[in-house]
Structure 1
Amino acid sequence: MTGVISDEGWRAVTRRDRRADGTFFYADQTTDVYNRPSCVIRPAQRDQVLSFATIAEAESAGFRPCRRCRPDQPTLHERHTAAVVRACRVIDGTQDAPSLDDLADAAGFSRFHFHRVFKAMTGLTPHSYITACRSQRMRAQLSGADNVTDAIYDAGFNSNGRFYATSPEILGMTPTSFRSGGDGTRIHYHVTQCSMGTVLVAAADRGVCAVLLGGDDTAALLFRLRSRFPNAQVSAAHRALALRVDEALSCAEPPLAARALPRDVRAAVLCQRVREALRDLPATGGSRLVVMRPVTGDAGSA
């Protein structure tokens, strides 16, 4: 809607607040130019400023885009967000791990620049995100596969040995136990809050076996856990494990830039960062705490 700029809008303009970019545009009637709130060129008088919700409204009113802030072009943050989303969709849509060069081409960036942008946006390297997607496919495949070997190859692992080397951090238990719904396994869970709402983190004897997100419904998360592992002994985490999970979550929260990403991508990022933070988790029956290490993502590249 067109109108005189509000007090809040004017404060954003005078502060050159980048957080307001995209929420509205303002136009100076003395110059016939419209701008982003963060533009370095500020109008001299507030009573000559109009506010517009969209670029189309500003241009329909006869204003032209500023040559400094280029409000009719995507911002750098928007371009980075779009590039990361394109790369994530490529990863999500294939079982074979794409190369870093392939992902960079899909994003429209150089290899080095893409790797840096992806890490800054998500807190993960492209390799770590590929690992997250392949591991999630493995957990889904294993639940309904005729045998473990079929699930391994269907999930995109190139060999049994490569999977079994990382299976504790992917499953938190043996593949046989996971496939049988946690038969003979003890699972301790902790429910807490994160940037995406309520989160349930569950650990079995070999590590994390589930990271579940689900709004604010704790009962629904617990139902999902018990449905996934109907044959396991499920109970609330002891105090030491709960503190360990809380510490991990505080380190695993994705960068603020990740909030611009689609919810499913943010969920995958958060879950993978939690798993990486808890990679050295001891057996659930113990009380020993491992020194927390910051989540930096895998040092490798896609």
Structure 2
Amino acid sequence: MTSEEKWKRIIENDIDSDGKFFYAVKTTKIFCRPSCKSKTPLRVNVTFFDTKNQAIAAGYRPCKRCRPDLLQFNPSEDLVYKTKNLIDIYFNNSYDLEREIQDLGINRNHLNKLFLSYYGKTITQYLRFVRVEKAKLMLLEGSKIIESAFECGFGSVSSFYSSFKKETGYAPKLFIKIMKNNK
């Protein structure tokens, strides 16, 4: 592949060229993948490398945006995975959860669409699922319904009952009764 063909692929942010070559910007001393969404540098400032190790040996550091140093890098997948982990950690604290999700720095609607495409549930649906799963465990261990509701992050008993029934098909008391009879 000629230098001009490589340059054309950089301008087009050609993801199919990732791993086939890397480009480095002389003025910033940073190297990138051809698909990098960073501002297109001036052609005169660009040099090409066949491998990331060649770029590193020449004194260039990897771009923090496209992460050419990683074998695979999918920023959308990374954001969705971080969001899922935040929900798993902060499921019982809506305020902290919202703050942490905002700190990801992505539009909430866009994040919700990404989350839905990866997990088949919206952020709200997944949060409800996690809360109900935790509540089920608490109820089966003998916790009271009201205690389980608030410990798992529900704002009211009525929202707990509604969410519990959506997820399990049963009211909490009936769920406990059925589970105890199945032992």
Structure 1-normalised TM-score? 0.39
1:207-259 CA distance string (max 9 Å, x none): xxxxxxxxxxxxxxxxxxxxxxx44xxxxxxxxxxxxxxxxxxxxxxxxxxxx
* Matched letter for residue 62 of structure 1: A
Number of residue equivalences: 152
1:138–1:155 contact (8 Å) kept in structure 2: yes
Per the alignment, residue 119 of structure 1 pairs with 112
For residues 142 and 75 of structure 1, what CA distance do their matches in structure 2 show?
46
Does residue 153 (structure 1) correspond to residue 146 (structure 2)? The answer is no
Q: How does 1:266-277 map to 2 (within 5 A)?
A: none
Q: Tell me what 2:44 maps to.
A: none
User: Displacement, 1:156?
Assistant: 1.8
Per the TM alignment, residue 79 of structure 1 is displaced from its structure 2 partner at its CA by 4.3
Aligned to 1:26: 21
1:74 aligns with 2:71: no
In the TM superposition, 1:64-213 aligns within 5 A as 64=60, 72-75=63-66, 78-94=74-90, 95-98=92-95, 102-109=99-106, 113=107, 115-123=108-116, 124-180=121-177, 182=179
User: Which residue identity is paired with 1:89?
Assistant: N
Q: Which has the higher contact order (CA 8 A, sep 6+)?
A: 1
Alpha-carbon distance between aligned partners in 1 of 2:97 and 2:160, rounded to the nearest angstrom: 21
Structure 1 residues 74 and 183: CA distance shift in structure 2, 3 A:
same
| Alignment gaps of 5+ in structure 2 | 41-47, 68-72
- Cα separation, 1, equivalents of 2:160 and 2:176: 15
Q: Hey, what does 1:288 align to over in structure 2?
A: none
Structure 1 unmatched ranges of 5 or more = 42-48, 66-70, 185-229, 232-302
| Cα shift at 1:163 | 1.5
Name the SS of the counterpart of 1:164 in structure 2: helix
Go from structure 1 to structure 2 and tell me whether the alpha carbon gap of 1:27 and 1:145 turns closer, same or farther (over 3 Å shift).
same
> What do the CA deviations read for 1:154-195 (whole angstroms, capped 9, x no partner)?
2222322222233321222232342245356xxxxxxxxxxx
- Distance, in Å, in 1 between the alignment partners of 2:138 and 2:16 is 41
CA RMSD, Structure 1 to Structure 2 (Å): 4.1
**Percentage identity across paired residues of the two chains:** 16
In the alignment, the residues of structure 2 paired with residue 170 and residue 130 of structure 1 have an alpha-carbon distance, to the nearest angstrom, of 11
- The structure richer in helix per residue is 2
TM-score, normalising length: structure 2: 0.58
CA distance in 2, matches of 1:163, 1:27: 52
Query: How far 1:96 sits from its partner (Å)?
Result: 1.9
Structure with the bigger percentage of strand: 1
Displacement, 1:107? 0.8
Aligned-partner Cα distance in 2 for 1:87–1:138: 21
Matched residue type, 1:155: C
Q: Deviations over 1:109-143 (max 9, x none)?
A: 4xxx2x12312321144333322321222222222
Residues 100 and 126, structure 1, Cα contact 8 Å, conserved in 2: no
